A and B are shown apart, each in its own frame.
Chain A
Amino acid sequence: KAGVTQTPRYLIKTRGQQVTLSCSPISGHRSVSWYQQTPGQGLQFLFEYFSETQRNKGNFPGRFSGRQFSNSRSEMNVSTLELGDSALYLCASTSGAGGIQYFGAGTRLSVL
């Protein structure tokens, strides 16, 4: 069974640009959560999608958005990039049972 796949693995953008990251969950998993990981703040929850609906959202500005498709694949978008958005962005998929989340390898975003 394939794991959680995130693309691309690395991205370099400049301030003001926007970026779209992709996440394909484990087959059969319908919930996808996104996290931002930085050395200073650790792992922080961005949002969660289930059956194409955002069910939960963390404390991030509106520049961070996401969506989920009918095949459970999810994308997150960050608009008007700031230097502080440089981070490892992780997605995790959940089977729904017990809240166990399985993580992808992440997308490393560098904003210059």
Chain B
Amino acid sequence: TQLLEQSPQFLSIQEGENLTVYCNSSSVFSSLQWYRQEPGEGPVLLVTVVTGGEVKKLKRLTFQFGDARKDSSLHITAAQPGDTGLYLCAGARNAGGTSYGKLTFGQGTILTVHP
């Protein structure tokens, strides 16, 4: 069973602080995706990382994919109340068969940014 361990589960911080969310696995993934989900809505894709060691930046968000493609991190600089939400990492394997259409999700990190 492929598992993605996401930490921390909860983060409550003040506006302007920095934070990092981690996503770790013992399995190799072909790609790893980060989503953000707000209450009552479906997950919205933030970024996809594919290459080991890859770093992608999206405004104040920085995503890294580990060299071995087993782990990833999301770093938010100067968090704002609008960043509040559930952050999910999800791994994909493109090997066909039991991998078709299947993303393996971490448990998620509930982030609350207080003004």
Chain A bound to chain B: yes
**Interface residues of A, Cβ cutoff 8 Å to B:** 4, 6, 31-33, 35, 42-45, 47-50, 55-56, 58, 90, 92, 94, 98-106, 108
B101 & A33 in contact (Cβ 8 Å cutoff): yes
The residue from B41, B92, B107 contacting A99, defined by CB atoms under 8 A apart: B92
> With A and B bound together, what is the CA distance between A105 and B101 in angstroms?
18
Min CB distance B26 to A, Å, is 18
Min CB distance A100 to B, Å, is 6
A100 & B102 in contact (Cβ 8 Å cutoff): no
Q: Which residues of B contact A42 (CB under 8 A)?
A: 105-108
> With A and B bound together, what is the CA distance between A56 and B106 in angstroms?
20
Q: Which residues of A contact B115 (CB under 8 A)?
A: none
Q: Which residues of A contact B102 (CB under 8 A)?
A: 33, 45, 48, 56, 58
- Verify if B42 is at the interface (C-beta below 8 Å from A): yes
Q: Which residues of A contact B103 (CB under 8 A)?
A: 33, 35, 43, 45, 92, 99, 101
- Verify if B44 is at the interface (C-beta below 8 Å from A): yes
Question: From A57, which residue of chain B is reached at the shortest CB distance?
Answer: B98
